[in-house]
Amino acid sequence: MTKFSRYALAIALFALSPLGHSAMADDRPPLNGETGHMPSEDGRKQIQEVLDNYAKSVTTGDRALFESQLLDEKIPFFGLGEKLSPSFEPNLQSLQGYAGFRKAVFESGKKYSQKISNIDIKQDGDLAQVSLDFETTLVESGKGVHGWKILQLLKVRGHWKIASELYTVR
């Protein structure tokens, strides 16, 4: 990297960091491969409560409880098979699929059961990321789907809210 490139990178990091504080002006030592993003015990409990409410609301058909876990209804909320469809439109609006989920889960009259497992929570301040495996079963037929999802959460006014959900489904 040339001297000019290093300066340009430093300027870009400074300009993009919150409130103009340099992203490199951190007093902490370098991470050396350790992320340090383990949630506090309290953070883990609060995030687990969001996940429990999520699964409970799908299982009980409680739309209000489900939506109370979301930042708002226009969050990125998108499911796919293992690969994106060739017809996928690469824009944010294509990811805003909560309305379809709401219709299928909460407005269809069908009853579902949802289980989650293999939960991995990472947290840095008021930002968290959760990855997990899920299994959703249609109670009437016993048929189901499973997959993997990634949730991003923001702590807003002391409460964790889901800011995005991306998932695979098989």
Looking up tokens 């469809």 gives 85
Q: Dump strand ranges (E) for the chain.
A: 77-80, 112-124, 127-138, 144-156, 159-168
Give the three-class secondary structure for 76: coil
Looking at residue 8, its amino acid is A
CATH architecture of 41-168: Roll (3.10)
pLDDT at 32: 60
Q: How far is CA 123 from CA 1, 29, 80, 128, 148, in A?
A: 32, 19, 25, 4, 19
- Check pLDDT > 70 for residue 25: no
Kindly list the domain boundaries of the chain, sorted by start residue: 41-168
Give the model confidence (pLDDT) of 90-119 as tens digits: 999 999 999 999 999 999 999 999 999 999
Sheet containing strand 159-168, strands side by side: 77-80, 159-168, 144-156, 127-138, 112-124
Smallest CA-to-CA distance from 39 within 122, 140, 134 is with: 122
DSSP calls for 61-100: T-HHHHHHTBS-TTS-EEEESSS--TT---SHHHHB-HHH
Residue 69 pLDDT more than 80? yes
CA proximity to 168, closest of 152, 146, 153, 143:
146
pLDDT at 98: 96
The model's pTM: 0.79
Mean pLDDT over 35-50 rounds to: 90
Q: What does the mean pLDDT of the chain come to? A: 87
Buried b (16+ CB within 10 A) or exposed e, 30-54: eeeeeeeeebeeebeebbeebbeeb
